[in-house]
Structure 1
Amino acid sequence: MSPVLSYSPVVLPVPGRPVDLELRVSAPATGTGLPVVLLSHGHGGSNHLSSLHGYAPLADYWAAHGFAVLQPTHLSSATLRHRVGDAPDGPYFLRSRAEDMSHILDRLDVIEDTVPRLAGRLARDKVAVAGHSLGGFTASLLLGARITDDGEEIDLTEPRISQGVLLAAPGRGDVLNGPMADALPVFRTIDFSTMATPALVVAGDKDDSRHFTDMGPDWHADPYHLAPAPKSLLTLFDGEHLLGGISGYDAAETSDENPERVATVGRLTTAYLRSRFTPGDTAWQTACEELTTGTVESK
């Protein structure tokens, strides 16, 4: 592991966005050709974990293992509720969340120039998106999944992204029958058949999201089963929605707190991305063979 540098906020003015786009950048202190991971936070009940201040257990791990992690604060964050709560597309800002990632990729030169000791170190041809929960929905759209809004099919595929990691992401829309189904009607329209970009789907076998569906934990594996190959599915034994606590160190909202599970998520996602970005790298194969706290399948 390498020492990590973390810098925030990087502020990017975006025309038409009600507030500037702010992000945290975490990267190893040394090295060049760093693959980029765009990390999309969830919605959640916390005030600050759903922002650039969250997901340190993953951001720190990925950065220490050679990735540059870029974490925006989406407009859906509770930290912005007092400023953009009445803005169109709120409170979830589903389209804006995906567009944030494209704006970041448009401005990588500015980000490199802003963050000390980062200039010239990013590999622009090695970009992945990772997202947890609602962030997993955001990542799905960037990887090619489609939604329909007011009769219009929305395509937010980002061709500069070549890999994805979906963490406890929402599944199919035709089984929604919980109280959140009416709050997010666009979830009913998700189409994974167009999500062609390679991705690793991570799901907990006890992540029962009854507020959306009574389908049970299998719902979170839908992005794997319903999307075309190549895809992989990592199912974590006893994992609930926070997958052991990925949204923050010692987060009270974690119902299945388990540092070993968080370490497994970090280790397996790192190995997956490393092997996807570097043909011939065996890190993913080795990590799968050594896994004892979950199962992996691929297609």
Structure 2
Amino acid sequence: MRSHDHALIGDAAHIPVNPPTPVLTFSPIVLPYPSRPVNLDIKVSAPSTGASLPIILLSHGQGRSNNLNSLEGYTPLAEFWAAHGFVVIQPTHLSSMSLRLEAPEDNTYFWKDRAQDMVRILDQLDAIEAAVPGLQGRLDRTRVAVAGHSLGAWTASMLLGATNTDPRDGSVTESFERRIKAGVILTGTGNAGSDLSDMGHAMVPFYGPDFSSMHTPALVVCGTEDVSPHLTTRGADWHADCYHLSPGPKDLLWVKGSGHILGGISGWDAVETTDESPERVGLVQRMTLAYLRSALCDGDKSWDEASQALEKIERLGTTEKKGK
């Protein structure tokens, strides 16, 4: 982490945050799983000080890079969240380009295994805590959130309660995890059926979401310019379906002018970022941090304060919310 904000963070600096601390990053931790094609590698980022630390499970997207769709990606988010009081755990899912594994026909992108990876991590928190120097006794297992980007956002959605009905055979997949108390869905996936493009049907033939059971509180983050014709016949509004089609409480953040990578959250100076902007990244960092603090810490007002600050710099984005 830097000791100061990026010189180009701009008006995002007006979103208030608590003071940062230095971050310790430890990887890889290898969780053995004989039934998995390869063992589960994870990375842990944690603040160097503090106790009773809440936990964020961060699921990477698919993307086109060779490395960022793994535990090596999403440093702009992972280190920022860790610097401000969270322990962030990142797996390398089986779909990672770094593994080059061929997925079974009925498990494209190993999409079913992704949620299982997160459950495995929660089941192994004792071992993870013991493996990271200086982390022993500092985790708060009652405060767990999941965050995910793109395909990782669908992983997060399922852990938050969404279900999938495979249109090919009608099989239903459920991955709801009660230990997860809140979520952040970053440029998530929307409705299927006629809302998918022809290419979308070919890319994700398994995809048939139902967000009506996604009761866990979550923040949905979308870019106003995130038009994805390879997946959907609709515009950027498709990515907000998981907000509109799920029950509350939910919050929605629109990042103005942003595409699918939200200014560069998947990695510093990443080629796959078509809308690179330290200011947008700063906005997403700060707004997601504020949401997570308020969602996991009773009485915390960070989200209200951040939303009020954003109202004064509306050119960067807007928020809305719905209750139960």
- TM-score between the two structures when normalised by the length of structure 1: 0.97
Question: 1:88 & 1:153 partners in 2: Cα distance?
Answer: 16
Question: 2:47 & 2:200 partners in 1: Cα distance?
Answer: 39
In the alignment, what sits opposite 1:4?
23
Question: 2:155 & 2:235 partners in 1: Cα distance?
Answer: 21
Query: Taking structure 1 as reference, are residues 138 and 63 closer, same or farther at Cα in structure 2, changes over 3 Å only?
Result: same
Instruction: State the AA in 2 paired with 1:256.
Output: D
CA contact 1:25–1:71 (8 Å) conserved in 2: yes
Instruction: State the AA in 2 paired with 1:184.
Output: V
How far is the alpha carbon of 1:91 from its aligned partner? 4.5
- Secondary structure of the 1:61 match is helix
How far is the alpha carbon of 1:205 from its aligned partner? 0.4
In the alignment, what sits opposite 1:282?
301
Query: Taking structure 1 as reference, are residues 87 and 9 closer, same or farther at Cα in structure 2, changes over 3 Å only?
Result: farther
Q: Deviations over 1:194-216 (max 9, x none)?
A: 10100000000000011011210
How well do the aligned residues superpose, as a CA RMSD in angstroms? Answer: 1.1
From 19, 24, 41, the counterpart of 2:38: 19
How far is the alpha carbon of 1:273 from its aligned partner? 0.7
CA contact 2:103–2:109 (8 Å) conserved in 1: no
- Secondary structure of the 2:260 match is coil
Question: 1:89 & 1:76 partners in 2: Cα distance?
Answer: 14
The answer to whether structure 1 residue 106 and structure 2 residue 91 are counterparts is no
In structure 1, stretches of 5+ residues that fail to align are none
The answer to whether structure 1 residue 214 and structure 2 residue 237 are counterparts is no
Moved more, 268-277 or 87-96: 87-96
In the alignment, what sits opposite 1:297?
320
1:143-222 map, 5 Å: 143-149=160-166, 150-174=169-193, 175-187=195-207, 189-222=208-241
Moved more, 97-106 or 150-159: 150-159
CA contact 1:76–1:90 (8 Å) conserved in 2: no
Question: 2:305 & 2:123 partners in 1: Cα distance?
Answer: 35
Question: 1:88 & 1:121 partners in 2: Cα distance?
Answer: 42
From 138, 141, 148, the counterpart of 2:155: 138
CA contact 2:106–2:206 (8 Å) conserved in 1: no
How far is the alpha carbon of 1:182 from its aligned partner? 1.8
In the alignment, what sits opposite 1:43?
62
Q: Deviations over 1:141-163 (max 9, x none)?
A: 00000002332211110110010
In the alignment, what sits opposite 1:52?
71
How far is the alpha carbon of 1:248 from its aligned partner? 0.1
Question: 2:81 & 2:24 partners in 1: Cα distance?
Answer: 12
Q: How many residues align?
A: 296
Query: Taking structure 1 as reference, are residues 86 and 294 closer, same or farther at Cα in structure 2, changes over 3 Å only?
Result: closer
CA contact 2:145–2:182 (8 Å) conserved in 1: yes
Query: Taking structure 1 as reference, are residues 17 and 89 closer, same or farther at Cα in structure 2, changes over 3 Å only?
Result: farther
Instruction: State the AA in 1 paired with 2:146.
Output: V
Question: 1:46 & 1:278 partners in 2: Cα distance?
Answer: 35
How far is the alpha carbon of 1:279 from its aligned partner? 2.1
CA contact 2:183–2:218 (8 Å) conserved in 1: yes
The answer to whether structure 1 residue 116 and structure 2 residue 133 are counterparts is yes
Identity rate of aligned residues, in percent?
A: 56
CA contact 1:145–1:195 (8 Å) conserved in 2: yes
Moved more, 88-97 or 257-266: 88-97
In the alignment, what sits opposite 2:292?
273
- Secondary structure of the 2:272 match is coil
From 238, 241, 244, the counterpart of 2:257: 238
Question: 2:133 & 2:230 partners in 1: Cα distance?
Answer: 43
Instruction: State the AA in 2 paired with 1:234.
Output: L
For CA contacts below 8 A with separation 6 or more, give which structure has more relative contact order: 2
Moved more, 176-185 or 286-295: 176-185
In structure 2, stretches of 5+ residues that fail to align are 1-19
In the alignment, what sits opposite 1:30?
49
CA contact 1:178–1:210 (8 Å) conserved in 2: no
The answer to whether structure 1 residue 259 and structure 2 residue 278 are counterparts is yes
- TM-score between the two structures when normalised by the length of structure 2: 0.89
- Secondary structure of the 1:286 match is helix
- Secondary structure of the 1:120 match is coil
